[in-house]
Amino acid sequence: LVSLGPIVHNPRVVEKLQRMGVTVARELNDIRGRAVLIPSHGARPEVWAELEAKGVEVVDATCPFVRKAQRAAERLADEGFFAVVFGEGGHPEVRGILGWTRGRGTATLEVVEAVEIGRSRGPLGLLSQTTRPPEAFDEFAAAVKRELASLQGEVPCVNTICPSTRKRYAAARELAKRADLV
């Protein structure tokens, strides 16, 4: 079994899987074998099509919350919105999500950039990388909506932050209240 990139951001898990015979391919061209594992970050539709063309068995380990973000991005694009993902453009999850927009999306962490995109590319729809801080996304979305209200009216915003991520951020905030250093 070959994983198309590390299955998760956890070196111990990746090492354990490697000891069990799972190798990691950095690119599609590096894939040798009959079965490929799509990591938790998911993949663009083009990757799925290329794997199908190669005739390999695909094992989909895409996180259900990443899958939700992919579908939200696809739906926004299908409905005529330019999807803006609040996230890191180079992150594998974000690259995968953007693939589902078929060229009608981008990623940014900057309100000014999102607003400019809304002014130049047409109506925006917002979603988030699944692991971004919830409060940061809420602030980003509120600011973008406020800036584009007169131009666009309602800016659709899809909550795609993972519930576990929300819990971890909340737990960290609570711990910070009781500790001198976190």
Which of these, 69, 27, 77, lies nearest to 47 by C-alpha position? 27
Pair 155, 114: CB distance under 8 Å: no
Handedness of CA 162, 57, 98, 108 (dihedral sign): positive
At 104, the amino acid letter reads R
Buried (b) or exposed (e) across 93-130, using 16+ Cβ within 10 A? bbbbbbbbbeebbbbbbebeebbebbeeeebbbbbbbb
Whether 27 sits among the annotated catalytic residues: the reply is: no
Query: How far, in Å, CA of 104 to CA of 83, rounded?
Result: 6
Select which of 93, 110, 113, 135 is catalytic: 93
At 162, the amino acid letter reads C
At 150, the amino acid letter reads S
DSSP 30: G
Q: Which residues are catalytic?
A: 93
